[in-house]
């Protein structure tokens, strides 16, 4: 497994296993299968509702804690009767308890909404206390990311954003690289939108390597030094998604995939007022 080194020296596997949209009752079995297949990097979130199942799978696996890289995410804190910083710490410890862990490898602000400056101050303290080995953000556009960096002590180690062949985020990645922030992809397969799995160009490249389109997409991201967390509930697909280190896309093939970029989200825009209102109305602890 290839690792990337975060800006504080923490090593992070470039390929992990995500559990977004896996029902809670199916999550433990899926994560156990992923760990058995060889995954050591697991990604969840308070808002996914399956942290406890991920924790149960970790415990059942018998794998030593030091061999695993575990990420979860902080939802927007509302703090109706207290401070956002206090609520952030409370939410962090709730996640830690559900996961059955003593520390996290990476803790992310899930949405660039609400008082995320107070959230970040609390997370900086969690990092200093060794409870979160690294801290970062998710879904931050460049302007908000730079503003957060400019006005805080710790630079986010990671920014997890929508990144796939139809929304490639090359300019975002270049800015992050200059600021010491690791890009991480969510939705690497675009959930199959735009007929990704039957796309003629991707299919042609896959055939040339004797691989699947999914493997080509993961290889394309890894060659760009993008951390990626594909999801599957099928053990054979989990194994296939790990099998992407034995071939290399040519510069010509990388360039052809670059032509698929539309420069736009296939899901939602965090700058859309209706989406901001919808996200802000969600409650998770």
Q: Please state, in angstroms and rounded to a whole number, the distance separating the CA atoms of residues 154 and 143.
A: 17
Number of domains the chain contains: 1
Task: Give the SS3 label for residue 114.
Answer: coil
Q: Provide the pLDDT for residue 259.
A: 98
Q: What are phi and psi of 184, to 5 degrees?
A: -130, 135
- Does residue 180 fall inside a structural domain? yes
Q: In angstroms, what is the C-alpha Rg of the chain?
A: 18
Q: Along the chain (285 residues), what's the average pLDDT of each consecutive run of 10 residues?
A: 96 98 95 97 96 97 96 89 89 97 98 96 98 98 97 98 98 98 97 96 98 98 98 94 97 98 92 90 83
- Does residue 21 fall inside a structural domain? yes
Q: Provide the pLDDT for residue 17.
A: 98
- Does residue 51 fall inside a structural domain? yes
Read off the tokens for 252.
């010509």
- Does residue 42 fall inside a structural domain? yes
Q: Please state, in angstroms and rounded to a whole number, the distance separating the CA atoms of residues 138 and 49.
A: 18
Q: Provide the pLDDT for residue 81.
A: 65
- Is the Cα dihedral 59, 63, 66, 72 positive or negative? negative
Q: In terms of residue numbers, what domain contains 126? A: 3-280
Catalytic option among 39, 48, 107, 116: 48
Q: Please state, in angstroms and rounded to a whole number, the distance separating the CA atoms of residues 108 and 100.
A: 18
Q: Please state, in angstroms and rounded to a whole number, the distance separating the CA atoms of residues 282 and 77.
A: 10
Q: Please state, in angstroms and rounded to a whole number, the distance separating the CA atoms of residues 127 and 274.
A: 33
Taking a C-beta distance cutoff of 8 angstroms, is the pair 268, 213 a contact? no
Q: Provide the pLDDT for residue 80.
A: 66
Q: What are phi and psi of 259, to 5 degrees?
A: -70, -10
Q: How many CB atoms lie within 10 A of CB 81?
A: 7
| CATH number of the structural domain spanning residue 264 | 3.20.20.100
**116 is an active site residue:** no
Read off the tokens for 168.
């490639």
- Does residue 285 fall inside a structural domain? no
């Amino acid at each position: 497994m290839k690792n990337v080194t975060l800006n504080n020296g923490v090593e992070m596997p470039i390929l992990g296993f995500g559990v977004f949209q896996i029902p809670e009752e199916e999550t433990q079995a899926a994560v156990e299968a992923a760990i058995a297949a060889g995954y050591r990097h697991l990604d969840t979130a308070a808002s996914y509702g399956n942290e406890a199942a991920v924790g149960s799978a970790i415990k059942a696996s018998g794998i030593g804690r030091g061999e695993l890289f575990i990420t979860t995410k902080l939802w927007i804190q509302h703090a109706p009767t207290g401070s956002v910083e206090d609520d952030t710490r409370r939410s962090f410890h709730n996640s830690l308890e559900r996961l059955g862990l003593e520390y996290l490898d990476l803790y992310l602000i899930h949405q660039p909404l609400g008082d995320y400056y107070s959230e970040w101050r609390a997370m900086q303290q969690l990092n200093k206390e060794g409870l979160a080995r690294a801290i970062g953000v998710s879904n931050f556009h460049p302007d908000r990311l730079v503003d957060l960096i400019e006005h805080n002590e710790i630079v986010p180690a990671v920014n997890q954003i929508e990144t796939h062949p139809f929304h490639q985020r090359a300019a975002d990645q270049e800015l992050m690289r200059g600021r010491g922030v690791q890009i991480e992809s969510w939705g690497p397969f675009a959930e199959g939108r735009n007929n990704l799995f039957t796309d003629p160009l991707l299919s042609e490249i896959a055939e040339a390597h004797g691989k699947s389109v999914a493997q080509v997409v993961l290889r394309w991201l890894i060659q760009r030094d993008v951390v990626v967390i594909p999801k599957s509930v099928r053990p054979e697909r989990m194994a296939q998604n790990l099998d992407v280190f034995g071939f290399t896309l040519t510069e010509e093939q990388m360039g052809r995939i670059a032509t698929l970029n539309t420069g736009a989200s296939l899901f939602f825009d965090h700058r859309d007022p209706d989406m901001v209102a919808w996200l802000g109305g969600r409650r998770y602890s």
